Amino acid sequence: MHLLRMSIRFSRIPTFGNFSTLQAPSVTSYLTDACGLSPAAAIAAASKISFISGSRKVSSKHNPDSVLAFFRSYGFTQSQITKLISMYPRFLLSDPVRTLQPKMDFYLSAGFSTSTLTKLISSDADLLRSSLKNRIIPAFDFLKAILHTNEDVVAAVKRSTWIFHVNLEKKMEPNINTLRSIGVPVGSIAKLAKIHPSVLMQSTGRFGESVERVLKMGLSPSDAMFIRALHSLSSISAVTLKRKLEVYKSFGLPEDKILFCVKQKPMIVNLSEENIRKSFGFFMEMLKWKPEFVFSSPVLLTLSLEKRLAPRFSVYEILLSKKLWGEKSIVRRFFYLSEAKFNVRYLLRFQDECPEILETYRAMRGQ
């Protein structure tokens, strides 16, 4: 089907010849006119293509028009093609049927949708540069042995296309074995591989250090929160972690309480020091909440001050001024509610009594 579609499109496209017969100015013009590159990007790309095509014989199969037609036949938009050629102009020297089509067909047969695939490839050209036999298929098979379904493998690749850059048996398997050796359940390992595959592709030394830090926190490997903590701690150094904990301590919170909350909501160690201070400042100054009360629900600290906390507080102030606030005080669930539920419960419900409430809320959110 793809071959038929490609042959039809190829026949309708004027031939520019191969790059071995084009001079640098012609190559540059082709890159701007046919590929959509900017003049500066075209000049940079032309030097690479001209150098290669001038140093070896380029057969008639390496027709740049056929490469562009190939990408279009697989659903790439013009902007995606431009981005792809800018990243790796040597694609224009490819024999698409021999080198590109087998990879595209494999990805599609594995369960990648056309829209997903074109988006991923236009952001990471190595998905078409890596060896199908030696890298792509082995990586896919390795992950499927862990995740069991093509759908979950696709989900993992969408999280990190680096999966097809490395040898997973050498890069990921040692770290998986480490988790198995300490008793992390198979299901938890699979979840980590699907949602945060990059964690499992860290060097064994760095990965081992992260595992040790999570264990020292007192989390059991069998606890579902273990892999969440591993993900959070693996992205920061021991020095950075210590500095974050010091920020929390500066609000008078005891270390044991802080560590307890980190175990409940590990991602609070990934917040910037500035955001930690701003969030605590908001709760303590605007709501008069004590640090202990804030920390009793650590998820509060992960909510955006600009998009969630401040805009909703403005709604609270309006309702309070109109004597429409039914609670004794502002409650935490006011900030927890999903956007859809918040709209129904507070914005739409009181729109007649407070016409300005929706406009104020949207303005605060920058909408």
Residues 6+ apart with CB under 8 A from 112: 120, 154, 157
Alpha helices in 132-272 (DSSP H): 137-147, 150-159, 168-171, 173-181, 186-195, 197-200, 204-216, 225-234, 238-249, 255-264
Closest to 294 in 3D by CA, of 278, 318, 311? 278
Mean pLDDT of the chain: 89
Closest to 74 in 3D by CA, of 105, 95, 47? 105
92, 124, 156: which is the final residue of a domain?
A: 124
Does residue 212 fall inside a structural domain?
no
88, 109, 124: which is the final residue of a domain?
A: 124
Does residue 195 fall inside a structural domain?
no
Does residue 216 fall inside a structural domain?
no
pLDDT at 9 over 90: no
Does residue 120 fall inside a structural domain?
yes
Longest dimension (CA), the chain: 82
Rounded CA separation 296/299 (Å): 9
310-353 residue pLDDT tens? 999 999 999 999 998 877 677 888 999 999 999 999 999 999 99
Please identify which residue in the block is written with the tokens 């829209």. 115
Phi, psi for residue 365 in degrees, rounded to 5: -85, -5
228-258 residue pLDDT tens? 999 999 999 989 999 999 999 999 999 899 9
Mean per-residue pLDDT for 9-24?
Answer: 44
Mean per-residue pLDDT for 172-199?
Answer: 98
Please identify which residue in the block is written with the tokens 């938009």. 77
**pLDDT band with cut points at 50, 70 and 90 for residue 367:** confident
Integer CA distances (angstroms), 132 to 9, 72, 139, 149, in order: 25, 21, 10, 20
Closest to 128 in 3D by CA, of 183, 76, 176? 76
Helix (H) or strand (E) holding 86: helix 78-87
**Rg of the chain over CA atoms, in angstroms?**
27
Q: How many domains does the chain fold into?
A: 2
92: left (phi > 0), else alpha (psi -120 to 50), else beta?
Answer: alpha
120-153 residue pLDDT tens? 999 999 999 999 999 999 999 999 999 999 999 9
Cα–Cα–Cα angle for 263, 265, 270, nearest 5°?
105
Q: What is residue 96's DSSP assignment?
A: I
97, 124, 151: which is the final residue of a domain?
A: 124
Looking at residue 59, its pLDDT comes to: 43
Does residue 351 fall inside a structural domain?
yes
Please identify which residue in the block is written with the tokens 């590929």. 35
Question: 66 exposed, middle or buried (CB, 10 Å; 0-12, 13-18, 19+)?
Answer: buried
For the whole model, what pTM was predicted? 0.81
DSSP string of 36-84, one letter each residue:
---HHHHHHHHHHHHHHHHHS---TT--HHHHHHHHHHTT--HHHHHHH
Closest to 305 in 3D by CA, of 287, 327, 283, 321? 283
Does residue 141 fall inside a structural domain?
no
Give residue 367's identity as a one-letter amino acid code.
Q
Does residue 20 fall inside a structural domain?
yes
Q: Which domain holds residue 103?
A: 2-124
pLDDT at 215 over 70: yes
**pLDDT band with cut points at 50, 70 and 90 for residue 29:** confident
Cα–Cα–Cα angle for 225, 230, 235, nearest 5°?
135
Rounded CA separation 249/187 (Å): 35
Does residue 104 fall inside a structural domain?
yes
Closest to 231 in 3D by CA, of 276, 263, 266? 266
Give the alpha-carbon dihedral of 80, 114, 133, 63, to 10 degrees.
-50
Q: What percent of the chain is predicted at pLDDT more than 70?
A: 89
Residue 342 CA, chain-centre distance (Å), reads 27
**pLDDT band with cut points at 50, 70 and 90 for residue 25:** low
Residue 90 CA, chain-centre distance (Å), reads 27
Residues 6+ apart with CB under 8 A from 273: 243, 244, 247
Contact assessment for residue 280 and residue 294, using Cβ atoms and an 8 Å cutoff? yes
pLDDT at 14 over 50: no
